[in-house]
Chain A
Amino acid sequence: SYDLTQPPSVSVSPGRTASITCSGDKLGDKYTSWFQQRPGQSPVLVIFQNNKRPSTIPARFSGSNSGNTATLTISGTQAMDEADYYCQAWASRNVVFGGGTKLTVL
């Protein structure tokens, strides 16, 4: 089976840049999505097809994907960005989610 690995937690100071990684074998050959999930809420798509942003998502969210690692970058991180973040990809026509990263803004 295909696995996606994320760091359990990432911390960032307000206004600074946060980077959350997602690793998988030849992940750069696949399309990756990223989801934000605040406590008690449903996941929200923030990045799709590696680096595209839904129109409702602020421009401070960006994504990249190369080699074995996809990265979600949040520039000028705000307190409201504190949440769990999940990467997701398709492997052999099945959906795979990463284990999630808790982003703390402090």
Chain B
Amino acid sequence: QITLKESGPTLVKPTQTLTLTCTFSGFSLTTSGEGVGWIRQPPGKALEWLTVIYWNDYNRYSPSLSSRLTITKDTSQNQVVLTLTNMGPVDTGTYYCAHISGYNSPADWFDTWGQGTLVTVSS
């Protein structure tokens, strides 16, 4: 059974850097084809994709946020870490990590999601 859980601060100040950790079980990011993605959702709004990383360190970033985003993995801890710099009020929302099933291809799918963590940006 695959599970994922997001952790990190619930409140950050404008201009600060957000660091969120996704801790997972039931799969390993040393196994071919495995991947993890981050998606966020402002209150009352739609899902927005942020980034993905795969077992082979292949990664992609949302073009609109690529200059502010970094994703890394720690296979020994079964964790994926997201950093988002220069936070502003528009970055307020629930941040989800999700497991990617597939082959590191456009046929992949997000099959299991974490419970999400609400991050508020306010001074």
Residue ranges of A at the interface with B (Cβ–Cβ < 8 Å) = 1, 30-31, 33, 35, 37, 42-45, 48-49, 54, 86, 88-90, 93-100
Contact = CB atoms under 8 A, between A and B. Distances in A.
B79 to A, nearest CB: 19
Contact of A33 (B48, B110, B114): B110
Contacts of A37: 47
Interface residues of B, number: 24
Contacts of A48: 101, 109, 111
Interface of B: 37, 39, 46-49, 52, 60, 62-64, 96, 101, 106-116
Contacts of A88: 47, 49, 110
B114 A42 contact: yes
Contacts of A45: 109-112
B109 A96 contact: no
B106 A90 contact: yes
